[in-house]
């Protein structure tokens, strides 16, 4: 009999039953008054929970669309942009910035570490910028930036629009829009919301909306805030067909988040991550992200000597856990384990035990239970 497969890549994350049921509902007309009311409640909740007096956009598309929307609605060609990168997704912004003809400077960290806020402070003291972009958690490295501290520095030193990529962080790592001086925060449905892929979610604070007005007509059509704004103010309006079932799924996810409490959810992710990372280290793995830079949403786990990536991940898959491979220079050297969204102790402990079984099957001398013991010690100390 085949093992049930847990999808433990850093997105899509496991979709729990109530969310699956919302996906499976009979699809309604998007002008159906009940659906319109549901969409309204989603938008109001997102605004309240992540604390902004600005706007929220929920648009069919993936996180990459949100990246593009974030910059093209707030920055004009030729404007100066500072990109703070600690991995593949930060670097992707460089490519986007080049295509959009921004005048861009990059502060790039070695993979496994981040950019010190002192360096950001120095850069912003010496040069004027129209935009500052940072990836909260870069999924390629598992490194987390100090977004609150960077927000404070950006607002102290400049009038720049502060953009935070929360794709691998939002709804798991601490983030609040206006209180953290964030002008644009964005994510996608398939990460810590635990909803299937297909929705781009953006929060745009008052400064971002003012900047959108200043820009006038932009070349983007589908990604233009001004095209979507009438729908976000009244979802019975039409621009592009809303992803009806995904919006219901997001509504259910938000209900679960409200039940748990956003702050408690942040704490759960922190405690889980620290215990999982300690358990993996006890088994003989190393974590790519240095202490102090580690995300709570995923772990990028370096193999011990003698373990081969393809064999390990294929065996782990047979043991019932699907993880992702490394990106860039770390392809073949590590696996990426997502631990964000709606995952409980049943899932986490099954995953840890499946990893132990896999190490054993790959010929690695592992003491069975060593990971579990560490996990329990760390989590219930």
What residues line the site for ligand PMP (CB under 6 A)? 11, 62-64, 67, 89, 135, 138-139, 165, 167-168, 188
Instruction: Tell me how far apart the alpha carbons of residues 132 and 110 are, in angstroms, rounded to a whole number.
Output: 19
Residue 138 or 173 having the CB closest to ligand PMP: 138
Residue 174 or 357 having the CB closest to ligand PMP: 174
Ramachandran angles phi, psi of 266, nearest 5°: -60, -45
Residue 222 or 364 having the CB closest to ligand PMP: 222
Q: Can you read off the two tokens belonging to residue 355?
A: 């990893």
Residue sitting closest to ligand PMP (CB): 63
Distances in Å between the Cα of 238 and the Cα atoms of 29, 31, 193, 199 are 12, 9, 25, 17
- Minimum CB separation from ligand PMP for residue 165, in Å? 5
- Minimum CB separation from ligand PMP for residue 188, in Å? 4
- Minimum CB separation from ligand PMP for residue 243, in Å? 14
- Minimum CB separation from ligand PMP for residue 198, in Å? 9
- What's the first-to-final CA gap in the chain, in angstroms? 37
- Minimum CB separation from ligand PMP for residue 346, in Å? 25
- Minimum CB separation from ligand PMP for residue 35, in Å? 24
Instruction: Tell me how far apart the alpha carbons of residues 263 and 138 are, in angstroms, rounded to a whole number.
Output: 22
Residue 201 region by backbone torsions, left for phi larger than 0, else alpha for psi between -120 and 50, else beta: beta
Contact 327, 112 (CB under 8 A): no
Q: Can you read off the two tokens belonging to residue 256?
A: 């679960």
Residue 36 or 288 having the CB closest to ligand PMP: 288
Residue 135 or 358 having the CB closest to ligand PMP: 135
User: Residue 56 contacts by C-beta under 8 Å, 6 or more apart in sequence?
Assistant: 43, 46, 47, 50, 201, 202, 203, 204, 232
Contact 164, 185 (CB under 8 A): yes
Ramachandran angles phi, psi of 238, nearest 5°: -120, 135
Q: Can you read off the two tokens belonging to residue 277?
A: 């990372």
Residue 199 or 352 having the CB closest to ligand PMP: 199
Instruction: Tell me how far apart the alpha carbons of residues 130 and 120 are, in angstroms, rounded to a whole number.
Output: 14
- Minimum CB separation from ligand PMP for residue 353, in Å? 27
Residue 168 or 359 having the CB closest to ligand PMP: 168
């Amino acid at each position: 009999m085949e093992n049930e497969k847990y999808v433990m890549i850093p997105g899509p994350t496991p979709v729990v039953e109530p969310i699956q049921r919302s996906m499976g509902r009979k699809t309604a007309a998007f002008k159906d008054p009940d659906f319109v009311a549901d969409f309204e409640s989603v938008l109001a909740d997102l605004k309240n929970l992540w604390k902004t007096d600005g706007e929220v956009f929920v648009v069919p598309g993936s996180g990459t669309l949100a990246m593009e929307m974030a910059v093209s609605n707030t920055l004009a060609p030729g404007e100066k942009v500072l990109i703070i990168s600690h991995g593949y997704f930060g670097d992707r912004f460089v490519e986007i910035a080049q295509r959009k003809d921004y005048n861009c400077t990059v502060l790039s960290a070695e993979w496994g570490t981040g950019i010190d806020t002192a360096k950001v402070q120095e850069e912003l003291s010496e040069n004027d910028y129209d935009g500052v972009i940072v990836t909260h958690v870069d999924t390629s490295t598992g490194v987390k930036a100090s977004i609150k501290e960077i927000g404070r520095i950006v607002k102290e030193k400049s009038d720049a629009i502060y953009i935070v990529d929360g794709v691998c962080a939002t709804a798991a790592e601490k983030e609040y829009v206006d209180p953290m001086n964030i002008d644009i925060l964005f994510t996608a449905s398939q990460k810590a919301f635990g909803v299937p892929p297909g929705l781009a979610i953006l929060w745009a604070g008052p400064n971002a909306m003012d900047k959108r007005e200043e820009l006038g007509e932009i070349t983007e059509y589908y990604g233009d805030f001004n095209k979507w704004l009438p729908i976000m103010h009244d979802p019975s309006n039409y621009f592009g067909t809303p992803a009806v079932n995904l919006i219901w799924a997001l509504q259910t996810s938000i209900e679960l988040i409200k039940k748990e409490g956003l702050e408690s959810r942040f704490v759960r992710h922190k405690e889980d991550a620290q215990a999982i990372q300690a358990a993996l280290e006890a088994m003989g793995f190393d974590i790519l992200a240095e202490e102090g830079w580690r995300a709570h949403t995923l772990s990028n786990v370096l193999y011990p000597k003698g373990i081969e990536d393809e064999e390990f991940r294929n065996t782990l898959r047979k043991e019932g856990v699907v993880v992702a491979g490394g990106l860039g220079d770390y392809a073949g050297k590590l696996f990426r384990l997502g631990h964000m969204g709606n995952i409980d102790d049943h899932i986490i402990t099954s995953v840890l035990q499946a990893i132990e079984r896999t190490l054993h099957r790959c010929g690695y001398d592992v003491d069975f239970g060593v990971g579990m013991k560490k996990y329990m010690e760390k989590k219930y100390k």
